[in-house]
Structure 1
Amino acid sequence: MQSPDIRVYLHDLKHSCELIHSFIEGCNFETYISDPMRKSAVERQFILIGEALNQMLIHFPQEKEHYPYAPRIIAFRNRLTHAYRTISDDIIWGIIKKSLPLFCKKVNQLCDQYEENR
């Protein structure tokens, strides 16, 4: 069995960040909540972020130092997947606007770092 490559997980994280950004570009909260396809697309990418981060940290536990909020991100993924009715649009929009930009910036930095060390 081939050992996993951290760059695969980082690429998945980066791609999901880019997709969420593209889905909400030029969009305000009212537009977001009135578009079920957009909401579904964003939520799907958050689920992928949580799962990719979880798998990456299982295979590369030393990376936890870069993601101090990993448990919260993974818990958010689990709520979106299994307790989706407990998450409001306000919560998701707040994460998009407040937390996601910093997370994506960190992911981009680590992607660049691992590509340089390749």
Structure 2
Amino acid sequence: MEKKYVNNYLEDIQIAINEIDEFFSDVPKTYEEFLSNLILRRAVERNIQIIGESVGRISVLDESITITNARKYMDAGKHITHTYNSLLPDILWSIVINHLPQLKTEVETLLSEKR
């Protein structure tokens, strides 16, 4: 049963990353666009929150799964949930640009191994 849940959480992460990528399909993927577009920032925040929660649940269900920067994703998600007005846009942008591509690759690999 836990394997099913782990797969669901991995899929949730994959969906969240894909949604973030899609948010930039009609706008330039620049920090300036991100900073000036409140709707875009809020959508990214929500998906990072989902990623953080999913990573946290995976870490509880299956300690053998290693996700790079797992603690950072969990902390960012909790930060958005509990202190929603204090996570700086540059931190969110850094996650989008510097960390999500690697997470996307890791999740795709984990999903292919789990199926």
Per the normalisation by structure 1, the TM-score is 0.85
Q: Which runs of 5+ in 1 are unaligned?
A: none
Max Rg structure: 1
Aligned length: 111
CA distance, structure 1, for counterparts of residue 89 and residue 69 of structure 2: 21
More deviation, 85-94/21-30? 21-30
CA distance, structure 2, for counterparts of residue 106 and residue 9 of structure 1: 13
RMSD: 1.4
- Letter of the 1:23 counterpart: F
Over the matched positions of the two proteins, sequence identity in percent amounts to 23
CA distance, structure 2, for counterparts of residue 39 and residue 53 of structure 1: 21
CA distance, structure 1, for counterparts of residue 113 and residue 99 of structure 2: 22
Structure 1 segments of 4 or more deviating over 4 A?
none
CA distance, structure 2, for counterparts of residue 94 and residue 13 of structure 1: 17
Per the normalisation by structure 2, the TM-score is 0.87
Q: Which runs of 5+ in 2 are unaligned?
A: none
Match of 1:54 in 2: 56
**Per the alignment, in what secondary structure is the counterpart of residue 40 of structure 1?**
helix
1:41 is aligned to 2:43: yes
